[in-house]
Each structure stands twice: as C-alpha cells, then as structure tokens.
Structure 1
Amino acid sequence: MPRATTVLAACRATVSALGRRTPARVSVLLPVHDRLRSVAATGAGQISSSVTPGVGTAGRVYASGKTETASPVPADGDHLPLPPGVTAQICSPIVDASGCPVGVLDLAWTDPVDLAQWRATVEQIAGRLGVRIGQLGGPALESRSERTLRHATALTSAVTERELSTAATEAARDITGFSAAILVLTRSRGLWVGPATIPLSGLEARIRAGLADGGQPALERLNGWAHRYGPAYSVTDPGAPPITDHEPLIAAGVGTLVSVPIGPADTGGVLLVAKEQRIAPDSSTVNLVELIATQTWTCLDRLGSLAKLHELASSDPLTGLRHHGPFGERIAAATPGRTALLAIDVDDFKIVNDTYGHQVGDQVLVDLARALEAALRQGDELYRIGGDEFVAVIEVARPEEAVGIAERLADAARRIDRTISVGVALRHDGEPPELTLRRADEALYGVKRDGRDGVRLAPV
C-alpha cells in the first residue's frame, strides 16, 4: 500500500494483502458520483458493485462511520446480496486523517471465524487505507469517459428545453473543471441565453450580466465567431489585441474560453465554457465539450420535433387553433365564478358553403379565426370545436367583463364583413364544465332566435 501511486492501486494492494491472509471475500467500495462502487475485490462470488449510501450494511457503515459485524449474517433485504454460505461479515468505514468516511472495507466469510479478533485488524487496515487515499488526493473518481456518458444520459433524459440547457451547462463545467458555462440558443426573436444553474459562480454571473448589457449584437458576434471558426479555445494574452467578438467575456474576467458551435448557425447556438485562470486546455477537453454540444443539439432537435408533433396532434389543421382535446383539459380546470366560456357560431355559414363552395367557406373560417384571436386579450384562449363553432375561454372578474370581450369579438367579425352569435356563461361553483358550455350554447341559440349578430349572457 505505501508504494501505491494511485487510489485504485492502494485499494487493490489492500484487497490482495488481506486475500492472502484470510479466505474471506474482500472488497473496497468508494464513493463515485452519488453511489458507493466496488473498485477492488477478491473471490468469484457475487460482488455488489453499486450501493446507495445509507442502504444495506456497507451503505449504513459509510453514512454512520461505525463498523458493523454480523454472525450469522441476517438474510433480510436491508443487507447487501452475499454469496451463498456466508456466515460472518465485518464492514468497516475507511476514514481519512480527519476521521471523515471516504469508503468502506467489507469482508465476508463462509468458514468459522473469530470476528472479535478480526474486527480490530480490519479497522486498523481501513484506517491506514484511508490515510493513504487522502495522501493520493482523495477517493477515486469517475473516469472522464464514465462522466461523459453519465452526462449524455442526463441530456437524453431531459424533457424540457430548460432541463436540457441546465444539463448541458452542468456537463460542460463538470467535464472541464471550469467555473462557468453558458448556452446561447437561437429563437424566433433572436438569440437567447439559457437558464442559469443556481448558485452561479462569480465569473458566470459577470458573463451573464455582460451578455445582457451587450444585447443581441454581442450574442450574434459570439454565435457567428463560433460557427465561423468551429470548436476552439482562446487564452487571454494581456500583450495581444483581444478578439473583438469576445470583448464582453474578457471584460467579465475570462482568462480561458472554450467555444463550441451547436447545430446550424441560423437555428443552433454556441456553448461557452470559461474560467478566470489562463491555461491552455488539452485537446481532449475541447473534444469532450464538442461531444456534449453535439448531444445537446441532437436532444434540442428531438424536443423540437416532439413539440411540433404535439402541436399537430392538438391543433385544428385548417385554422391552427386548438381543438376538442386541449379544450376539454382547459375547461376541466376552469375556476368557478372567474372562468367564462364564450360559445361562438358563424352566422349563415351554410349559405356561404352552398353558394360559393367549401374552399371559400374554409377561407372564411381561417379569416375569422385570425380576427377573433386578434380581438382577444393576452392569456385568453380560442378553440375550434366544430365546423363553424368556436369557443373562447377567458378569465374575468365579473360577468360584465365577459360580455364586453364577447362584444369585441362580434365587432371584429363585422370588420371582415361577417357576423357571429355569441353566448356567454360563467362557471358556477360545483358545476361540471360540460354544463357551463351547455348554458353558453343555450344563450347563443337565444341570439340566433332573435336575429343573429349579437351577444347574450346566460342566466347567472
């Protein structure tokens, strides 16, 4: 053990030495990410390679810092799976010089053994191993390839753009060891800086503030630079003129920057990873960030495709309005006394179809849908639930407000030389949403009977 130059070598030396002196199955488990994992073991039986801290004998010993012995070994679900015939077990924490657990040393016997005699020996060896692990820099960590695969899985598992942006920046920071990672993406209104991972490092906060001050021009320069030159790293040289496109980053205190494009220049973005110190990253670091960026774009593209499919599945193909499925979900969440349903029917629409044909009728519906949408307020929702039948779902403070919105819709229809009949109903406390819609329809039919082109409020 004293001659070991790595944590893994020290663990293997310990297991080998114990294996020569006892027939016990010996294993060393160290924390890797969020699990205890077996890094060295003897025996051909089942070796538990992954343990949750606090669960099972090894997990409890790691969490408590106290040795556990058992003879016979309980055959309950809280203990780790052991090879057949195991009759005795000693599990001791591996502690560093400060007494903090950094792993577990576990021995299991199938032959009779004096646990009292072995306990002191196992605890002494575990203590020595803990000191040596500390001298070698701490518990063994994941390899870069293992870490990259773990982050790739997290990216693939993201179900929203926010989750994906957070996973991408966390991956970039973890893999490079840099303190700041920023994802810049193209959106319909321009480039957008992805959500921040809380808490922010000081450098990351300064970069985000600098990009916000620079606005779209600063983001466009960074995005353009990355797509023009490809994956690269830059080290600030006080004696050399700065790269103009990187001025907001340099002003924020960036000493080293890895810049990797994501997707096409007009629809993708750029992943920026930075630290204050001036170093030259090795090529593998840039390559791994490029892998993360590529995976990020693949996942972004997948989320975009799924969003489009969902929109197609929940929208009326003619008008683009949402239809029956989303409408049912919306009215089910209607607030009694606050949510109003506006049932809308196009007057004399059958005459239009019969006289001018369905193509003209379809255009009437499209034009009317656009006019009604424009007349609604921010947050109001319009659905097409039948051939010439629409429903608006709005939130109001009083019935008169709902009637006023309905009048606006009627005026909007008149401005494109059409008329509509509108029935208005506020959901009552305890009333099924289907009944609210029926009352709105009844009010609408009242307008039809009175000559069309009007608004009526259902009895409160």
Structure 2
Amino acid sequence: MSIDQGRLTDALTTTVATAPSVPDACQATVTALADQLSGTVAVLLDLGGRLRCFAAAGAWQVFDGVPADAGVVGRVFRTGTTAAVADVRSDPDYIPLGPGVVNEVCAPVPGANGTPVGVVNIESTNGPPLAEVRAALEQSAQVLGARVAALGGVPRENGGQRLLRHALALSSATDEPEVLDRCLEAARDISGLSSAAIAMGSGPDIHVSAARGPLAGLLVMADRNALALLAARTRRHGSTYSLGDPAALDARGFERLTAAGIRTMIAVPVGGRHDDGGVLLVVDHKVVRPGTGTVSLLELLAAQSLVCLERVRLVVQLRLRASSDPLTGLGHHGRFTERLTRARPAHTAVLAIDVDQFKAVNDTYGHQEGDRLLVELVRALQSTLRAEDDLYRIGGDEFAAVVEVGHDSEALAVAERLVGAARRVGRTISVGVALREAGETAENTLRRADDALYAVKRSGRDGARLAEPGTVAQPLMVLPPTITGTG
C-alpha cells in the first residue's frame, strides 16, 4: 500500500488551509491522514505546558494532557525533530496504550517563529514504508502549523483546563506555604484579577495566611472584623462577587476595601459551613463583573486547596510523631543522631544526661508519677538551655543535649546550669560533657560523654564532668546541694 500524495495534498489544501478554527484545522488534518493511513492518528498541541489532544481517529482511546517531557510526542515537541520509530519496543520513550502497535511516526507542528506548538502523530501495526509516512506527516504538520499561525495561534486554555493544570500543581505541593502560594497563583490566573489572599480562622482570630499581587499589602492590612464577617457570611451562605463600580452601586459594609481602591472582589469560602475555615479573596483595582462560571471554578479551587492543606498538615504531624517522644515532645534517638552528625569539631558539645535513681520513683510511686516527674524535669531543663541548644530523650530516663559553644569550659557551664535546674524541681541528674574533636566520629564523642557521665555516677551523682581525649576525665564538678533526700 502506498500513499496517494496528490489526494493528500488536495485534502490538506482544501480543508486544513481553509479551516475556520484551530480545532477544525486539527480535525481536518487527522481526517486527511486517516483517509490514507491505518492506525491511530492524533494532533496534540501545547496548552499550558501539556500536549492536549485536539483531534484523533483510528482508536477507541487516545492520550491527552501528555507532559512535554514524556513519550515520543514529548521528545519531538522538545527537539523540533521528526521521529520515525520502526519498532516501538526498542524506544524507551514509547508510551503503550493499545495493543499491537509496531511503529510510530511523529512530526512537529511549527509555530509562527518556528518553535513547535504541537505534534502530528501516528501509531500503526503496518502500512506504507516509514519514509512515506514520515513525508506525509511532515507535510501535514507544515500546513497545519501555517493555518494555526494564521488563526492567531493555539487557543488559550479555558477555565476548566486552567483549573486542572493548577490542581495538578497543588497536589504535588510539599508544605503549607507552597500550597497557599500555588492556590493564590491559580486564583489570579483563573479569575483574571490581579491579587488574591487567603484568610483563615474565625472571629478576632482570623488572619491573612498568604497574599499575592499588587494589592497584597492592602489585603494583609485589611480590617479583621470585616474579614471575619466576610468569612462567616460566605461559609454560611455561599460565595459572593461584585457587580460593578462601587461608586454607582450599594457597597455598604465594604467601605474600608473600596476606599483603599478595590473595585472588584470575589469571596469564596474555604471549608464547610461549621468547621474552622476561612475565605479566599480575589480582587482588582479595575471594575470587572466576574462570571458565575469563574466563581464556580474558584470554589472548586478552594476545596482542592483545603484538601491539599489538610494533607500536608497531616504529613507534618505524622513526621513529628515519628521523630518525637510522645511524653515529653522532645526529639528521640533518631533526630539526636542526625543532629550529632552535623556537629562542628571544637564548637559542638554533647551532654549525656541521666536522672539519678529514677527507677526507685517508678518502683515506689508507679509509672504515672514517673512520667509526671520526667515532664516537669524536661520543662526545667529546657528553660535553662539557650535557644540554639537542643535537648533529646534517647532512653527511659536518659537525655542528651547538643550545644554550640566556643570552648569546653562553656559546655561545662551549660551542664552545671542543668544540674542546678534539676535541683530546683527536687531531683538530681548526672551529666557527662564531651566537645567533639577534629576527625572524631559522632559515635565516639557520645561514648566519651557517656564515660564522663558514669564517672559522675561513681563519684556520688548530682554533678557534671568534662571528658578529655582518651576519656581522661577532669575532677568532678559538684554544686553545693540545695535539697535533701537524694542520693
């Protein structure tokens, strides 16, 4: 079987080159090729960074929204070079969809400046020689590209397509600021308005969590009472939007906003009617009358953003639970080890801390009393440490602190303050101190601190000791006792 080049040229000239719209031109291209070739023929054009299927024939299912870095079509779109794959099994970029495909030919559709705006693609089991197919696709792509350029280029995304693109971006956000930022950029893009903000909370606790655009500062400084009222109304009764110039219409209740220059506003609820949510505000200094379709898309965006917010918050909570001691809230052994590996030689000290005779408390008064004592002790120790110091619980009654210091004497002074803090809540602790040395492993620094700790235990507890290289310890540093009944 061979391609009738004359018939193909006639079809392209009479239908594609005169098509009244870009979708019509794409469909005419597919029809002309499908008349000559068997297989799946498709035209995909770049729309918002993805290759969207504008027309297809020859298969029950086709790809749409293909990322620009995926598949043979993505490769051709990126490089602007035709691909003729004789055996799709040998091409790692081939995306399988239907069974029995043997070869694939894909040609770039050139834009007005020569940069590809899409591709014409065919996948088939057999047919004319690949050289003929390639020539036919390249000819069709050239004619289609010229018609697309003459019609003003690829049509812009509609609202639903833009929402889909932003929803995909939202779903990949990894933290709360990223979710908020992508939500606000999406709101501005979908609405066509210049600025957007999200206010979360209710009543006097409402606050603007994030704002973007030239009016962001105004939204951040907006009156909280006005925001709270707006959030309560939208969450209870539904979205609101403006109808025109506030100077000619009744804008009572929004005087603070209109006086500051806001002429158009859409307010969409974030969250359900009764739970603690907020409001998505999209505004502009120009007078625009939003369409109800735009408001509906923003409602879907707000709902999707809330789901993404809840997801990243849950991930943070799970990570915190996985890396923290549930009783004291301190990081556990895993986080301590990570911190220790970042210790700077001669500037980071490890303090190994043990609660003296803690087992006796559990045996005498029970574990509930022991837990209460640990919580109280941790609070006392944390109040003594500096902001740059970190405290961890690495065992039942075993703790460790990592402190940044300029000298080992400074580290010992921190340990002595911890001993004093424990005494003030009626307990005693033993502390071993080791300053990390150049070339020393984190494990060896901790071992030296432990050795110094046990030396304190052997010397009567309730004190701090500084370990030296080779675990040669200095004299025990014991503060004058301030309580009785400890041993």
TM-score, length-scaled by structure 1? 0.80
Counterpart amino acid of residue 411 in structure 1? G
Q: 1:76-123, CA deviations, whole angstroms, 9 ceiling, x for partnerless residues?
A: 52775797566x957353433x5453223346881359849x94x866
Q: Which residue of 2 aligns with 1:201?
A: none
Question: Which of 144, 148, 151 does residue 129 from structure 1 map onto?
Answer: 144
- Give the SS at the match of 1:342: strand
Match of 1:302 in 2: 311
Partner of 1:428 in structure 2?
A: 437
Letter in 1 for 2:428: T
Name the CA shift for 1:399/1:214 in 2 (closer, same or farther; >3 Å).
farther
Distance 1:244 1:149, change over 3 A: same
Identify the residue that residue 326 of structure 2 maps to in structure 1: 317
Deviates more, 1:48-57 or 1:99-108: 48-57
Q: State the 1:14 CA deviation.
A: 2.8
Per the alignment, residue 27 of structure 1 pairs with: 42
Q: CA deviation at 1:377?
A: 1.5
Equivalent AA in structure 1 for residue 427 of structure 2: R
Assess if the C-alpha contact under 8 Å between 1:148 and 1:288 holds in 2.
yes
Match of 1:110 in 2: 127
Contact 2:194–2:214 under 8 Å retained in 1 = no
Uncovered stretches (5+) of structure 2, i.e. residues with no partner: 1-14, 470-487
Question: In the alignment, is the contact (CA less than 8 A) between 2:108 and 2:116 conserved in 1?
Answer: no
The aligned counterpart of 2:416 is: 407
Q: Which amino acid aligns with 1:260?
A: V
Aligned equivalent of 2:109: 93
Residue 358 of structure 1: CA displacement? 3.8
Q: Are positions 1:233 and 2:232 aligned together?
A: no
Number of equivalenced pairs: 445
Summarize the Cα distance change of 1:71–1:239 in structure 2 as closer, same or farther, 3 Å threshold: closer
- Answering whether residue 214 of structure 2 is matched by residue 206 of structure 1, we say yes
- Quick check: 1:57–1:91 contact (8 Å CA) kept in 2? no
User: Unaligned regions of 5+ residues in structure 1, if any?
Assistant: 197-203
After superposing the two structures, state which structure 1 stretch, 41-50 or 406-415, moved more. Answer: 41-50
Q: How far 1:296 moved relative to its partner?
A: 1.9
CA shift in 2, pair 1:79/1:386, >3 Å: closer
Counterpart of 1:160 (choices 153, 175, 179) is 175
Contact 2:196 2:216 in 1 (8 A): no
Note if contact 1:211-1:218 (Cα within 8 Å) is conserved in structure 2: no
Match of 2:480 in 1: none
- The residue that corresponds to 1:11 in the other structure is 26
Match among 145, 163, 173 for residue 148 of structure 1: 163
Q: Does 2:384 align with 1:370?
A: no
For structure 1, which segment, 355-364 or 430-439, has the greater mean C-alpha deviation from structure 2 after superposition?
355-364
Task: Provide the secondary structure at the position in 1 that maps to 2:282.
Answer: strand
**Post-superposition offset of 1:365:** 1.5
Give, in angstroms, the shift of residue 378 of structure 1: 1.4
CA distance in structure 1 between the partners assigned to 2:448 and 2:32 by the alignment: 84
Relative to structure 1, is the Cα distance of residues 133 and 380 closer, same or farther in structure 2, using a 3 angstrom cutoff? same
Q: In the alignment, which residue of structure 2 is the partner of 1:77?
A: 91
Q: Are 1:421 and 1:453, in contact at CA under 8 Å, matched by a contact in 2?
A: yes
> Quick check: 2:184–2:196 contact (8 Å CA) kept in 1?
yes
Q: Deviations over 1:266-297 (max 9, x none)?
A: 74332222334322222222122112212222
C-alpha displacement of 1:172: 2.2
- Among all aligned residue pairs of Structure 1 and Structure 2, give the percentage whose two residues are the same amino acid: 45
Q: Which amino acid aligns with 2:49?
A: D
Give the Cα separation in 1 of the matches to 2:435 and 2:120: 68
CA-to-aligned-CA distance 1:189-234 (integer Å, 9 cap, x gap): 95554456xxxxxxx4432222444586676565455445532223
| 1:173-192 equivalence runs, <5 A | 173-186=188-201, 191=206
Shift of 1:370: 1.0
CA distance in 1 between counterparts of 2:453 and 2:189 reads: 61
1:14/1:181 Cα in 2 relative to 1: closer, same or farther (>3 Å)?
A: same
Amino acid at match of 2:393: R
The offset of 1:30, in angstroms, is 0.9
Deviations 1:4-35 (A, max 9, x none): 55422221123224444x33654322113323
Residue from 339, 345, 365 that aligns with 2:348: 339
| Matched-pair contact (CA < 8 Å) for 2:354–2:429 | yes
What is the alpha-carbon root mean square deviation over aligned residues?
A: 3.9
1:11/1:157 CA distance change after superposition, 3 Å:
same
Structure-2 change in CA distance of 1:291 and 1:214 (3 Å): closer
8 A contact 2:86–2:102 mirrored in 1? no
Q: Deviation per CA, 1:220-259, whole angstroms, max 9, x where unpaired?
A: 56545544553222355223464545735x4664332221
1:213–1:405 CA distance, 2 compared to 1 (3 A): farther
Question: Conserved in 2, the CA contact under 8 Å of 1:48 and 1:81?
Answer: no
The whole-number CA distance in structure 2 between the counterparts of 1:157 and 1:54 is 17
Per-residue deviation at 1:374? 1.4
Shift of 1:138: 2.8
